[in-house]
A = this chain, B = another copy of it.
Amino acid sequence: MSRLIGVGMGPGDPELVTVKGVNALRGADVVVVPVMDTGERGRAEATVLHYVPEEKVVRVVFALNERSDRARREAAWDAAGERVAGLLARHACVAFATIGDPNVYSTFTYLAQTVAELVPGTVVETVPGITAMQDLAARSGAVLTEGTEPLTLVPVTAGPAVLKEALNGPGTVVAYKFGRRAREVAEALRDSGRLEGAVWGSALGLPEESIRPAAELDGTPLPYLSTLIAPARRDGGRGSKL
């Protein structure tokens, strides 16, 4: 029975992979990396290449860019699933490198389902990875949670109502995937009085890294993989250090 291991690569800094993740990459027969249909090198691939030789890496195209429609993305997932199923027929252990954590908004979840249907009996495992909100907290000084504060993680793609409801609560709110909806996010922050202390970031750990106070969000579209932290309402105003 072959094993398929989803390995979390963290947000982009190669040092933010766990020791377990590095060992999983090195122990696998092949390491699959998702690449855009443009063919450019993604973060997962760049991180993998810090730890394993290029000969062991298999590039599989996913139409992961924001402009793809659902049908096209699903077709790409199915094709990718078939590629990975083919690899599992020839290898005892296949690793799949995914940015962030394989159980948090990861393509790996869909891939594993497709593969489980194509190759019944495949053993699916995951190795956790550092998420963008954790890296942004560390780099900006914005504490995610303390004491009895709840934390809500909201993909802005869920619609503005979900984000607004979370911002009206007392806890920390993290928004993912806002990209072209930066204006909505900025408005929701202002309307809920949560602009102060909030911070956003993109390309964390990469040369083009950008980390700024959310008050500077002016509605200009941001990279799709942007992250926002609006810290819980706290006495003493401990937001980010920015």
Contacts and interface: CB of A to CB of B under 8 A. Distances in A.
A56 interface: no
A186 to B, nearest CB: 19
A188 to B, nearest CB: 14
Contacts of A157: 148
| This chain: copies in complex | 2
Interface string A139-169: 0011111111111111101110010001000
Given A14-B19, A19-B22, A130-B18, A149 B155 contact: yes
A152 B150 contact: yes
Given A130-B128, A151-B153, A155-B150, A103 B138 contact: yes
Size bracket of the A interface:
35 or more
Given A128-B138, A144-B104, A162-B150, A19 B20 contact: no
Interface stretch (A61-69, A119-127, A191-199): A119-127
Contacts of A106: 146
A114 interface: no
Nearest to A144: B103
Given A15-B18, A102-B138, A105-B145, 7 more contacts: A13-B20, A14-B19, A104-B151, A105-B146, A110-B146, A128-B135, A129-B130
